[in-house]
């Protein structure tokens, strides 16, 4: 453009100086420096960053643009507006541009960044068996069953493999053999059981069978009487009768019938004792056997005496003789103390009637004994119990009876484990030398009969007999 004006070199130099002077007068606007973005936002934990130190900027020097320098040309004619002429500094044509001062870059302090925490990748998911997709669902909506619902693959049994492998003949033969042996065993077992019940077979093999299957000899109200106990008692009784020279001859059928009825009665007694939470323990049996040994003398003499009388060993004597006797005595005490029992109430009423008549003047006491007493030994002796000294009766009975006069009837019914007693002091004597008193007693005993009680239960029971 300057070339088009045909300026002289001097004029060009003058215009250059004027342009430089004009540029130096104008102040360049400062551009604010943007602070670097904080690194704390991108980190999991806040970091303390010290403030950057202030750096004094270098002295301002007008930047020189190598390519183009804008130049303002004043026109010689004041009425015309000034014309801006672009003068190239280099040989290349240039274009005048607006010069903007760039911000001075400030050095940023390096901050040590902690290493990123290691992220544990989840374990690879196991392959999940997919269920058949629902035809109403799309391909993306197909439900995947959780691992807990995946059906395990079941192994096929051996017999299936055998059949699938073609060995059906071997399997069929083995099955037929097993069924045949089972049928033979059942047949032999049935024959053996028939022989035990109907042919009286009794050997060691049969005893094993009896204990294994707990075969019954009968039932009492649904309670089983073991066949093994029945055969043991039968064998014992037969051995006892064989050992006695003067033993009566008893029909075998009657003997078995009496033995079975005895076992039924013992079953009833045992059941009644359980109702009262009572039982004869092994310690009581041992103590009773020891008392028997003490009365006879020693164990050898006792063993001989038991074998001579009963044909039993001491152990069988405890089981077959002592235990039934002790069970009956224990049940006697239980039913006597049971005031709600009809048999007990009836015995008490009979005793009160006998007492009322005994207290009536002119009544024969011996006649009342025969009429009301149900104890055989008392009836045979007409109620005579004999003479007693102090210490030979129970403490309660002693204090009452020794306080009565001769020929006096005690005015109340005395009850103990045997039943109801009506006592009369028949005579009373005092020793002149020692001053010791003695009394002669008579009684009316209305016994709560345990045998009668068991018989009534026997008659009411539902009994089933399996042995002949």
The tens digit of pLDDT for each residue in 425-457 reads 999 988 888 888 899 999 999 988 888 889 999
DSSP of 93-113, one letter per residue?
Answer: --------PPPPPPPPPP-PP
Q: Which of 165-174, 296-305, 396-405 is predicted least confidently? A: 165-174
The tens digit of pLDDT for each residue in 277-293 reads 998 888 999 999 898 88
What is the average per-residue pLDDT within 344-365? 91
How does residue 326 score in pLDDT terms, banded at 50, 70 and 90?
very high
How does residue 313 score in pLDDT terms, banded at 50, 70 and 90?
confident
Higher pLDDT pick, 23 / 371: 371
The CATH number that domain 342-457 falls under is 3.10.50
How does residue 245 score in pLDDT terms, banded at 50, 70 and 90?
low
How open is the CA angle 115-120-122, to the nearest 5 degrees? 155
> Can you give the pLDDT at residue 422?
93
How does residue 461 score in pLDDT terms, banded at 50, 70 and 90?
very high
Does residue 317 register a pLDDT over 60? yes
What is the average per-residue pLDDT within 409-417? 90
What is the per-residue burial (b if ≥16 Cβ within 10 Å, else e) of 131-162?
Answer: eeeeeeeeeeeeeeeeeeeeeeeeeeeeeeee
> Can you give the pLDDT at residue 166?
52
Q: CA-to-CA distance for 79 and 223, rounded, in angstroms?
A: 147
**Rounded to whole angstroms, what are the CA distances from 324 to 321, 327, 387, 393, 440?**
6, 5, 32, 27, 34
Q: Which of 134-138, 237-241, 309-313, 370-374 is predicted least confidently? A: 134-138
> Can you give the pLDDT at residue 423?
93
Residues 6+ apart with CB under 8 A from 192: 201, 205, 206, 209
The tens digit of pLDDT for each residue in 112-170 reads 555 666 656 555 555 545 555 555 544 444 455 555 555 555 555 555 555 555 567 77
The tens digit of pLDDT for each residue in 26-72 reads 544 444 444 445 444 445 455 454 544 455 554 554 444 444 444 44
Class of domain 225-337: mainly alpha
Q: C-alpha dihedral over 257, 258, 264, 268, to 10 degrees?
A: 160
What is the average per-residue pLDDT within 345-350? 91
Question: What predicted TM-score, i.e. pTM, was given to this entire model?
Answer: 0.56
Give Cα 231 distance to the centre of its chain: 40
Q: Residue 445 in contact with residue 419, Cβ under 8 Å?
A: yes
What is the average per-residue pLDDT within 212-229? 85
> Can you give the pLDDT at residue 342?
87
> Can you give the pLDDT at residue 1?
47
Q: Residue 239 in contact with residue 311, Cβ under 8 Å?
A: yes
Q: Residue 47 in contact with residue 39, Cβ under 8 Å?
A: yes
Q: CA-to-CA distance for 172 and 182, rounded, in angstroms?
A: 15
Q: CA-to-CA distance for 284 and 281, rounded, in angstroms?
A: 5
How does residue 191 score in pLDDT terms, banded at 50, 70 and 90?
confident
Closest CA to 105 of 142, 52, 146, 153: 52
Question: What are the residue boundaries of the structural domains of the chain, listed by start?
Answer: 1-35+60-104, 136-213, 225-337, 342-457
> Can you give the pLDDT at residue 460?
93
Facing residues of 86 across strands? 70
The tens digit of pLDDT for each residue in 174-186 reads 888 888 888 888 8
Q: Which of 5-9, 357-361, 382-386, 395-399 is predicted least confidently? A: 5-9
């Amino acid at each position: 453009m300057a070339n088009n004006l045909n300026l002289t070199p001097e004029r060009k130099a003058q215009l250059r100086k004027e342009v430089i002077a004009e540029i130096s007068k104008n102040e360049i606007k400062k551009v604010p420096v943007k602070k670097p973005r904080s690194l704390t936002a991108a980190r999991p934990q806040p970091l303390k960053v010290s403030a950057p130190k202030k750096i004094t900027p270098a002295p301002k020097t007008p930047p020189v643009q190598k390519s183009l320098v804008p130049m303002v040309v004043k026109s010689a004619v004041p009425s015309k507006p000034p014309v801006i002429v672009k003068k190239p500094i280099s040989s290349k044509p240039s274009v005048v541009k607006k010069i903007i001062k760039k911000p001075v870059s400030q050095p940023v302090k390096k901050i040590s960044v902690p290493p990123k925490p290691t992220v544990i990748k989840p374990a690879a998911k196991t392959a999940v068996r997919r269920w058949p997709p629902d035809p109403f669902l799309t391909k993306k909506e197909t439900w995947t069953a959780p691992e807990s619902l995946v059906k395990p693959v079941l192994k096929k049994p051996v017999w299936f493999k055998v059949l699938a492998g073609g060995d059906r003949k071997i399997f069929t033969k083995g099955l037929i053999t097993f069924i045949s042996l089972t049928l033979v065993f059942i047949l032999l077992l049935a024959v053996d059981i028939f022989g035990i019940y109907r042919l009286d077979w009794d050997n060691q093999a049969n005893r094993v069978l009896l204990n294994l299957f707990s075969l019954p000899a009968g039932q009492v109200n649904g309670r089983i009487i073991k066949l093994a106990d029945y055969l043991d008692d039968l064998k014992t009784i037969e051995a006892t009768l064989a050992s006695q020279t003067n033993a009566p001859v008893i029909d075998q059928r009657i003997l078995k019938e009496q033995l079975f009825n005895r076992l039924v009665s013992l079953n009833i007694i045992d059941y009644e004792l359980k109702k009262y939470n009572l039982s004869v323990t092994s310690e009581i049996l041992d103590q009773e056997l020891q008392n028997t040994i003490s009365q006879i003398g020693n164990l050898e003499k006792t063993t001989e005496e038991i074998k001579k009388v009963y044909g039993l060993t001491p152990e069988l004597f405890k089981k077959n003789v002592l235990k039934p006797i002790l069970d009956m005595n224990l049940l006697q005490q239980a039913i006597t103390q049971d005031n709600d029992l009809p048999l007990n109430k009836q015995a008490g009423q009979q005793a009160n009637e006998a007492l009322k008549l005994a207290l009536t003047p002119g009544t024969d006491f011996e006649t009342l004994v025969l009429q009301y007493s149900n104890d055989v030994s008392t009836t045979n002796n007409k109620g005579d119990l004999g003479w007693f000294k102090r210490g030979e009766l129970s403490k309660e009975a002693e204090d009452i009876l020794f306080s009565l006069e001769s020929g006096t009837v005690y005015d109340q019914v005395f009850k103990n484990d045997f039943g109801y007693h009506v006592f009369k002091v028949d005579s009373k004597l005092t020793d002149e030398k020692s001053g010791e008193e003695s009394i002669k007693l008579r009684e009316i005993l209305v016994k709560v009969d345990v045998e009668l009680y068991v018989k009534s239960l026997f008659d009411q029971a539902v009994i089933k007999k399996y042995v002949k």
